[in-house]
A and B are shown apart, each in its own frame.
Chain A
């Protein structure tokens, strides 16, 4: 087997050194009745056959390389500069582990420090960690922090229904054993409706920015109301939108979480993605996950190291607030390289392209008979379209013309059946948008 380098002669030498005649003799501690079971697996094959098989499976999928994609809903098709992938493929990065030994992992540590810095800049927060699994688990971890800040006495978590349905579900999964009450998201609710739920038992209130429908809601005065009752204000934000719109820090957020996938990470059928987590400095000792800090070495040279380690599970064990031990290291690196390349100007331009193209598409669809576009609030690169027929039927028609249409909102929001969430990014050309509009015009 190509990944096991042993020759027969070496195996014999090693067994002789150990003092056993066969490799099987190394497994005597395993109960004999259960030892060496049969494995119902296919015959071994080489690299060539593996790749051929996977290629066939890959080609059986309707992907954004072959189709014009107008679907977002939490996963976005954006431009990724080639250099990002080339850096990710450096074996020194992707075949390293968690940087426990700082002398041997300054590369990973400094990259994480730069990631934390860039996330701080985007969100307007003073501190960020090295990341969580995805946007949904970042939100679940924000709940943990809020409960901790509320000394585990406050039991109420207010979630906006505009937060991604999966994120709200994950927050509930994480905290199902803890007697926590999640409220606010069972039916449509405005920012004012959510604020009306605030009380002394509230640990946090979370809103989405933009919300699941692509809209930018008005948050004026919300932070004051949340802080008045001693709760935390959490923003779930699309980081690309933050290149354009006011940072959550400016809007009074205490914690900002979200999905970093738009920052240089491919769609990859839903993962691996990148949960970012940023907060005000006063909460940094309460947050979970890896954090890298700057310090000096013995010679006074600048160095980086994982810090605030006693918060973590390997030290605190059953007193730890979270069991997380990794971050999404390589995905955080992807975002760091992406943000470095896009830079101050490129990221803003990408966000503006999304905005202009989405608004162009919305303007065109608005003119179609039978369709209406929700323009009640400003939006970024997604918008809601009410359709004359079920979304599934329309999408089937679009697919025949090489277009993957919008997300069917009726799946998560019963009052929005026949409503489609369309997403337009810098990857969609005017030609694609015009084709989409033409196809929709044909819907009877």
Chain B
């Protein structure tokens, strides 16, 4: 089963994706990451209003066997968190780019996005892991 890598997103090596729509950035983890983690049982997300620097950890995600930090790809202020994940963390497994999104931020500095991978580069990166 091929893992999805949507072409309109940007990617981090730590497997977060970023969708930029104007000033707003939406962040989640990739299909590859959810597959590696297996059944996600818990997602710890920040409070709305928190200012994040690029590269800062904004939360964590846990499965039965693993835990990993969530990294902000660009700087911004958290304007929404996906509270559905509190009751239904499995959304991250079922729909990582849709209903499994994690936070939305108002981007204050998009410069770090330039060094992110595009879909083709990320796909290549995953192949070699």
Chain A residues within 8 Å of B, Cβ to Cβ: 285, 308-311, 315-316, 319
Min CB distance B42 to A, Å, is 6
A366: shortest Cβ distance to chain B, in Å? 54
Q: Mark B63-84, 1 if CB is under 8 A from A, else 0.
A: 1111101000000000000000
With a cutoff of 8 Å between Cβ atoms, the chain A residues found around residue B118 in the complex are none
Instruction: Name which residue of chain B comes closest to A312, CB basis.
Output: B67
B66 x A310 contact (CB < 8 A): yes
Is A310 touching B44 in the complex (CB atoms < 8 A)? Answer: no
> Which residue in chain A gives the minimum CB-CB distance to B37?
A310
Closest to A285 in B: B42
B65's contact among A285, A310, A311, A319, by CB below 8 Å, is which? A310
Interface size of B as a range: under 10
In the complex the two chains form, what is the Cα distance from A315 to B62 in whole Å?
A: 11
CA distance A311 to B65 in the complex (A): 10
Whether the Cβ atoms of B69 and A310 lie closer than 8 Å is: no
Complex CA–CA separation, A315 to B64 (angstroms): 10
Report A165 CB to chain B, min CB distance, Å.
Answer: 36
Complex alpha-carbon distance, A319 and B66, angstroms: 12
The chain B residues found within 8 Å of chain A, CB to CB, are 42, 44, 62-67, 69
B42 A309 Cβ-Cβ under 8 A: no
Q: Are B64 and A319 in contact (CB under 8 A)?
A: no
Using known A-B contacts A285-B42, A285-B44, determine if residue A315 contacts B69 with beta carbons closer than 8 Å. no
Q: In the assembly, what is the distance between CA of A311 and CA of B63, in Å?
A: 11
Subset of 15 A-B contacts with CB under 8 Å = A285-B44, A285-B62, A308-B62, A309-B64, A309-B65, A310-B62, A310-B63, A310-B65, A310-B66, A311-B67, A315-B65, A315-B66, A315-B67, A316-B67, A319-B67
Nearest-CB residue, chain B, relative to A320: B67
Across-interface contacts of B64 in A (CB, < 8 A): 309-310
Q: How far is the CA of A315 from the CA of B66 in the complex (A)?
A: 6
* Chain B contacts for A316, CB-based, 8 A: 67
Chain A hits for B69, CB < 8 A = 319
Q: Which residue of B lies closest to A286 (CB)?
A: B44
In the complex, chain B residues whose CB is within 8 Å of the CB of A315: 65-67
Given contact pairs A309-B64, A310-B62, enumerate 11 new A-B contacts (beta carbons under 8 Å): A285-B44, A285-B62, A308-B62, A310-B64, A310-B65, A310-B67, A311-B67, A315-B65, A315-B66, A319-B67, A319-B69
* Minimum C-beta distance from A307 to chain B (A): 8
- Which A-B residue pairs are the 9 nearest by beta carbons? A310-B67, A310-B62, A316-B67, A310-B66, A315-B66, A315-B67, A285-B42, A309-B64, A315-B65
Chain A residues contacting B44 (CB-CB under 8 Å) are: 285
Residues in A with CB closer than 8 Å to B62 are 285, 308, 310
CA distance A319 to B64 in the complex (A): 17
Q: Bound complex: CA of A315 vs CA of B60, how far in Å?
A: 14
